[in-house]
Amino acid sequence: MVAAAAKFAISGLHVHYGKICALRDLNLDIRAHEIFTVIGPANSGKSTFLNCLNRLIDLAPASRLSGEIRLDGVDIRAGLEVESLRRKVGIVFALPLPLPISIYENIVYGLRMQGIRDAAVLDEAVERSLRESYLWDEVKDRLRSPAMNLSGGQQQRLCMARILAGRPDVLLFDEPTSGLDPISTARIEETMLVLKEKYTIVLVTNNVAQAARVGDRTAFFLMSEMVELSETSRMFTTPVDQRTSDYITGKFG
């Protein structure tokens, strides 16, 4: 069997905030068109890892990074401008952050910043991204209404659509359903499962059941280190490390 292509290749990654080690000697690949989930308790390095993938870590005071992260074979620090990287690798945060403008303008905001003004191009991007985020049928008749009028789950899918409008390669999700009800959570998860056909997805979650539902492979982080990485079905049935088993079964975390 031919191995799946690596979208991200991470080798020897260390991250410090001042004297505090946030990630230690991380080595892993993320495959194209998979949902790669990362689980672990608070302060295990999950969000730090996610922020390294699109260089948001650069904005953290006193952060120091060593090692290598390659996207499609290109070193993201030496071979890519940060603006180009962030167009390729978009992120959805735990709390929806729509802009206080219309639904339509939320989606085209980034495109306008890139200098795109053609109305037909903008209209196509709005419809395409709203369909991909499974929000089109709910908002197509009120695109000019304020985005803040949407429900929490709809706002989160709008944030997804805003990223999708720019045609990224990778979608990062940092606890995207932590504040949502079960129905909205299910809708986000269903959307992820469809989106992986076009995109590579990295999901950080404290919800181990969510990782089990959507993850193709899962990494377990603990105290700044990756303890275990395997196919999700294997990790949740026959974990190799006792600490992984203890976390999954709720003995700590």
Which CA distances in Å does 225 have to 49, 60, 109?
10, 20, 38
Domain boundaries, the chain: 32-59+81-248
Task: Determine the pLDDT at residue 3.
Answer: 54
Convert the pLDDT of each residue in 81-98 to its tens digit: 999 999 999 999 999 989
Task: Determine the pLDDT at residue 82.
Answer: 95
- Mark the ranges of the chain whose per-residue pLDDT is less than 50: 1-2
Q: What CATH architecture applies to the domain 32-59+81-248?
A: 3-Layer(aba) Sandwich (3.40)
**Does the pTM exceed 0.85?**
yes
